[in-house]
Structure 1
Amino acid sequence: MRMKGWITCPMGLKGLIHGVNLFLKTMMLPTFDPRDTEAGSRILEDITSNAGHIQEQVLEEILTKNASTDYLKGFLNGHSDKGLFKNKVPVVDYEDIKIYIDRIALDGEPSRILTNESITELLKSSGTSGGKQKWIPKTAEEGERRAFFSCLCDTVLNSFELRSFQGLNDGKALLFVLINPDIHTPGGLVLRTGSESEIKNRKDRYPQFILCEDSNQSLYSQLLCGLVQRDAIVNVGTFFASGLLRIIKFFEEHWQEMSSNIRTGQMSAWITDPNCKRAVSLILSKQMPDLADSIDLICQEKSWEGIIKKIWPRTKYVMAIITGSMAQYIPALEFYTGGLPVVSPVYGSSEAFFGINMKPLCSPYDVSYTFIPNMAYYEFLPIDNHQDPTCTNRKDAHLKDHIVDLANVKIGQHYELLVTTFTGLYRYRMGDIVLVTGFHNSTPQFKFGQRTNVVLSIHTDKTTEQDLQKAVAMAIQILEPLGFFLLDYSSYADTSSIPGHYVLFWELQLRSNDDIPELDQVKMEKCCSLVEQSLDQKYKLLRNQSISTIGPLEIRVVKQGTFNVLMDFYVSQGTSLNQYKTPKNIKSEKAIEILDSRVVGKFYSREVPNQDS
């Protein structure tokens, strides 16, 4: 899944909406206090009941504003007709528009190349799910649009919280956020992630330590403040499930030092950032030996199962994106949270925000998102439910003949998502496959399926991220009775020998805090075989040929902490910690070297997969 995080709605919005223009004739978004769930719920019901009409209005406004841009003039000759747009404007991916973005970002050319709104900054994608970082234009109006979306998200969260839990109103949320220093392009635009953009444009709304650009100092300070106020914390979260596991590991490495700080009332000397020192000094103002003793008692237990619930005993739920590639972390989160509900609130990206989870307390495996129809104009390219989405011809001139709009999608159908935005993206392929699961009023709901461009391939085989995730989930069941769960994994296609073969890197975790014992050779080889047996028929055919074109699958077990080291590498290359997602298909030779340097065991499939299953 893509970005995917949340941004709190600006507080202090006073006016409730009465008779607002929900069809966005001038893109004046309705304002409301997200704490007023009745007002927010009315807006949600109105816009989801009129999705088709709102979508037409959104497209009309985008074209009216931007028909004179260099990009659209080449197809529409200055006209803003919606039918002409659907007939003439091609379906594109990032590489098709990169030349226009580069002219603005690198050469300093005016925004009107793509949009008649002034581009104020560029949002950078993580680059870890699709392999390449993208720069997406953002305007001031887009910031307001995203703030409105976040208010709607808060409305949903507030409504379910008030119905389901007692004590939330007098508690605090511990939501971990980290930022990096700004980068400026040669053309003079600032380059940030979506979360960094929100934080830096609304600095007055955040604790000072969140403004610290040293991630270790910032995370340490946030955790320390969370420990001092442990009895006030009622929910814990961050953007992605993988990030929350990273925070738990960081806590595991530093809890003794934090406990010492609490015992003495003094912060560690290595915390030098003035924002961190000033913010923590307001909370850590005296010696608290009893609190330190209680933290020690919990953290010294042999197993850290349920550690979040034990450290923050009033916690009602955990918040993190848990869909798409993040689903692999559900078992680990269930272990560390003690079975607390995991709320996966929104689906969005650097390009646009899309959907809100209207049933936040549903099972992490059942999360669907409802499209919010005034965020952008959405179109959908049907994918045959038995078709490999990676096989779709990305440059087929007739693709647009098959596109359907938001109001005409069908339940049970897979689609590739296309988006047209106010900020200069037109019929842009997100690279995301979604499954329509139902409707909320007239607005479709969907599950995120997979990315189209993340595959393993040796010959003519194409294994998608979703295929691999399902296969790994099947195989790890062999080790679960021994007390193991899979903390993280990645893969690459090793073609250095003939035949080439799939390599999986696994980081295993015991439910106790014991060191990983020597792994059973037979069971690990069985894991390799079960992964292969769970892959598609094409893969198994190529493995079964008399002159095999794919060699036996290999699992390389790595030391504990390896995927933290991998994350540090990607962060050093410019990826934001907030948006980091472990790449499931490693393309960087340096990243493969990092993983290989920490391998503690190699295992191969000893069986040829059965083609009949």
Structure 2
Amino acid sequence: MDGKKLEYKGMEALKELERLTTKAGEVQEEILRKILAQNWDTEYLKKYIGDSSISSKRVFQFKKCVPVTTYKDIRPYILRIANGEGSNLITAHPITEMLCSSGTSAGEPKLMPSIAEDLDRRTFLYNLVMPIINQYVPGLGEGKAMYLYFVKAEMSTPCGLPARTVLTSYYKSHHFKHRPRDPFYDSTSPDAAILCYDSDQSMYCQLLAGLIHRHRVLRLGAVFASALLRAISFLERHWHYFCYDIRNGDLNNYITDSDCRSAMLNLIGPPNPDLADEIENICCQTPSWKGIICRLWPNAKYIEAVVTGSMSQYVPALKYYSDEKLPLICPMYASSECYFGVNMNPLCDPVEVSFTLLPNMGYFEFIPLGENGSLLMYFEEEDEEEDVPRSKLVDLAHVRVGCYYELVITTFSGLYRYRIGDVLQVTGFHNNAPQFRFICRRNVVLSIDNDKTNEEDLHRSITAAAKSLLEPRHALLVEYTSYADTSSVPGHYVIYWEINNKIHPNAPPISGEVVKECCIAVEEGLDYVYRRCRTNDRSVGPLEIRVVKSGTFEKLMDLFIAQGGASINQYKTPRCVKSKVALKLLNANVSGCYFSPRDPAWNA
């Protein structure tokens, strides 16, 4: 794929988007033919499609014979390549790097093969975002963007291939370094601050740059909502240092990275006591930080971050810090394995976000999971390790509105019929390309007995409990995670909550009785199988909420980042903790334990 052909801008990008989505089915079949033509002579594919030189026969053999896979199926090939064998085990093009998944869902990072042209595809999707948003939010070229981006120090495989996160790969690429320098891409942060491996120094410099340009910032955000909220917490702790630097035209000695120091000293300029006073007055003379984003960046028009799936629980906090004055834009759907699609309606409510899948990103197939309520039956009956019949797969052009599917991908870089693990629901079509709502990760569940609680159900019940019982008492649920405690009989769900009850100066602390009511509210929000196990079968014990100290989930983030998986950009709090080290950290920071005081209501 020629990278130059993919780097469309403005109206040209939108025209290409219309062409691709209008011919979605044709584009998909052409993508599959190209993948097979390029890779048919690899060791992996030759096991299934033979030595055929006829394109149509390869496609037929692929659909008939190539199995649906999970990471455990491709891991032996990836390890062989990482140890020095040729890329042609799985792909005809040289594998240039291994991309590390966050590792927070399955418990350890996965290595995903990547070839040079994958960067072209990612860049194509990035270059669609601004033209789409610009249709709805005018004037964005008249100011700056304050986006908080972070890299993570990379590792190497035994044979010397770099192993790094997908975002680190992009930020270190020529695509990012030579990105358009027109007004739409004018960032507050110098590249040196983004490319600094020390996340705290990077955070400090990027926030300082954003404050220096505070009146010119028209949009702000981070890749994930969690990273933006971490930045606000960092700012709340260190704002007086930022004011000192701006007032004196100097940079804190804490910044030791030479490239960062040089870039930031050029940016700070001469002493600016007036700007320092403005920021100080905003940060120190308010009873709470409600609306702090709008006060510090008064001309901002929106916040951009991923707020779907597990990130949706941060929406109340983002609305609180923006005083509900700024729309939350969730621009794209992507993963380490493949980039998938864009949000064509960026100003929609976060709960309504759907992504239009771009048919040129890879070849997409779907495992049907059912319609509406039948999704639960899938989680009860489907075993992730069971083989999925190839005849069961549906291609992109034939998915149905309202139905649930698990996404399966085939890529140029050597993933064939690979189960991503994402559960999606079709919400409509843009031209002939389907639009999907992200539901949950299928392999993130709590289970003690017959109960199987998926991520969506857990999130929905916790969010409802926090909204009805914490928010009226001027408290916010900062973060949560869970695990199934089977150390006693019967086992029970443990939910770790970090609560911010300082958002109103006169609000009393949240009492233990209120947390106990939250326990029962969460239980009553879970599905009928869980409630039956609790009340009739007695095979599941009362749900427990362990309230943890402020800052605990930042420590958890630091732990996972230090273990070599996620970066700040990529990190997602695991909704079901399996790591013994992570559990030890959480339990060491517990300030109170509370159990559900009664059985949840249940009707057969």
Give the shorter-chain TM-score range: over 0.9
Give yes or no for contact 1:129–1:583 (8 Å, CA) kept in 2: yes
1:198 paired residue number: 170
Cα deviation for residue 396 of structure 1 reads 4.1
Counterpart amino acid of 1:149? L
1:587, 1:395 → 2: CA distance? 18
Is the aligned partner of 1:158 residue 2:134?
yes
Distance 1:537 1:561 in 2: 34
- Partners of 1:534 and 1:29 lie apart in 2 by 51
- 1:135-534 aligned at under 5 Å gives the runs 135-162=111-138, 166=139, 168-202=140-174, 204-205=177-178, 207-300=191-284, 301-339=286-324, 340-385=326-371, 386-388=374-376, 389-390=378-379, 391-397=381-387, 399-476=389-466, 477-510=468-501, 512=503, 514=505, 517-534=508-525
Q: Does 601-610 or 117-126 show the bigger shift?
A: 601-610
> What amino acid does structure 2 have at the position aligned with 1:598?
N
> Secondary structure of 1:30's partner?
helix
CA distance in structure 1 between the aligned counterparts of 2:133 and 2:472, rounded to whole angstroms: 37
Cα deviation, residue 419, structure 1: 0.2
Among candidates 4, 17, 39, match of residue 12 of structure 2: 39
| Secondary structure of residue in 1 paired with 2:170 | helix
Aligned-partner SS, 2:602: coil
- Displacement of 1:244 in angstroms is 0.8
Letter in 2 for 1:260: Y
**Deviation of 1:155 (Å):** 2.2
Residues in 1 aligned to 2:304 and 2:385: alpha-carbon distance in whole angstroms: 39
CA-CA distance at 1:366 after TM superposition: 0.7
Q: 3-state SS of the aligned residue for 1:132?
A: coil
Is the Cα–Cα contact under 8 Å of residues 474 and 504 in structure 2 kept in the other structure? no
Q: For residues 28 and 204 of structure 1, do their structure 2 counterparts lie closer, same or farther at Cα, with a shift above 3 Å needed?
A: closer
Question: Which residues of structure 2 form unaligned runs of 5+?
Answer: 179-189
CA shift for structure 1 position 588: 0.9
Give the CA deviation at 1:513: 6.1
- Given that 2:473 and 2:510 are in contact with CA atoms closer than 8 Å, whether structure 1 keeps it comes out as no
Q: Which residue identity is paired with 1:230?
A: R
**How many angstroms apart in 1 are the aligned matches of 2:4 and 2:71?**
28
> Shift in Å at residue 170 of structure 1?
1.7
User: What whole-Å deviation, never above 9, does each CA across 1:292-328 have from its counterpart, x for those lacking one?
Assistant: 1111111111110111111011100011001111111
User: Please, which of 97, 102, 109 is the counterpart of residue 79 of structure 2?
Assistant: 102
Deviation, 1:609, is: 1.4
Of stretches 595-604 and 190-199 in structure 1, the one that deviates more from structure 2 is 595-604
Q: CA deviation at 1:516?
A: 8.2
Q: Find the aligned partners of 1:460 and 1:602 in 2 and give their Cα distance.
A: 25
**Quick check: 247-256 or 142-151, which moved more?**
142-151
Deviation, 1:599, is: 1.4
Cα deviation for residue 395 of structure 1 reads 4.5
SS for the counterpart of 1:320 is strand
- List runs of 5+ in structure 1 lacking aligned partners: 1-25
In the aligned structure 2, how far is the partner of 1:204 from the partner of 1:278? Answer: 18
- Structure 1 counterpart of 2:304, one-letter code: M
Letter in 2 for 1:486: L
The secondary structure found in structure 1 opposite 2:434 is strand
Q: Which amino acid aligns with 2:135?
A: S
Secondary structure of the residue that 1:479 maps to in structure 2? helix
Query: What amino acid maps onto 1:312 in structure 2?
Result: W
CA contact (8 A) 1:211 1:275 kept: no
Structure-1 separation of matches of 2:137 and 2:408: 33
Residue equivalent to 1:132: 108
Does the residue aligned with 1:161 lie in a helix, a strand or coil? coil
3-state SS of the aligned residue for 1:291? helix
Shift of 1:31: 4.2
Mapped to 2, the partners of 1:306 and 1:238 lie a distance apart of 18
Q: Which amino acid aligns with 1:414?
A: Y
Match of 1:64?
Answer: 37
Deviations 1:470-523 (A, max 9, x none): 110121111211101111111111111111111111111136265985432332
CA-to-partner distance for each residue in 1:75-113, whole Å, 9 max, x for gaps? 1112352111011000001111000000001x2000000
Count of aligned residue pairs for this structure pair: 580
Q: Report how far residue 222 of structure 1 moved.
A: 0.7
Q: For the Cα contact (< 8 Å) 1:130–1:451, is it kept in 2?
A: no
Name whichever of 87-96 and 284-293 sits farther off. Answer: 284-293
Q: Per-residue deviation at 1:30? A: 2.8
SS of equivalent to 1:213: coil
Cα distance in 2, alignment partners of residues 393 and 597 from structure 1: 34
Deviation, structure 1 residue 33: 4.5
Superposition deviation, residue 161 in structure 1: 2.7
CA distance in 2 between counterparts of 1:511 and 1:309 reads 19
* Distance in 1 separating the partners of 2:305 and 2:119: 22
Establish whether residue 75 from structure 1 lines up as the match of residue 51 from structure 2: no
1:46 counterpart letter in structure 2: R
CA, structure 1 residues 27+211, in 2 after alignment: closer, same or farther (shift >3 Å)? closer
> Counterparts of 2:512 and 2:192 in 1: how far apart (Å)?
51
Counterpart of 2:5? 30
Q: C-alpha offsets along residues 14-46 of structure 1, whole Å, 9 cap, x if unaligned?
A: xxxxxxxxxxxx667734542xx3212211111
Higher mean alpha-carbon deviation, 147-156 vs 497-506, is at: 147-156
Distance between the aligned counterparts of 1:31 and 1:608, measured in 2?
57
Deviates more, 1:327-336 or 1:196-205: 196-205
Q: Is the 8 A contact 1:305 1:335 kept in 2?
A: yes
The 1:584–1:397 alpha-carbon spacing in structure 2 relative to 1, beyond 3 Å, is closer
- 2:21 is matched with which residue? 48
Work out whether residues 509 and 516 of structure 1, in 8 Å CA contact, stay in contact via their aligned partners in 2. Answer: no
* Cα distance in 1 for residues equivalent to 2:177 and 2:527: 52
Tell me which moved more, 568-577 or 434-443: 568-577
Per the alignment, in what secondary structure is the counterpart of residue 297 of structure 1?
helix
Which string of whole-angstrom CA distances, capped at 9 and with x for unpartnered residues, describes residues 569-608 of structure 1? 1111112111001111011111111111111121111111
Would the aligned equivalents of 1:32 and 1:39 in 2 still touch at CA under 8 Å? no
| Counterpart position of 1:602 | 593
* In structure 1, distance between residues paired with 2:506 and 2:383: 48
With normalisation by structure 2, the TM-score equals 0.93
Structure 1 residue 152: deviation in Å? 2.0
* Structure 2 CA distance for partners of 1:250 and 1:536, relative to 1, 3 Å: same
Offset of residue 158 of structure 1: 2.8
8 Å contact from structure 1 (residues 356, 370) kept in 2: yes
Tell me the equivalent position of 2:573. 582
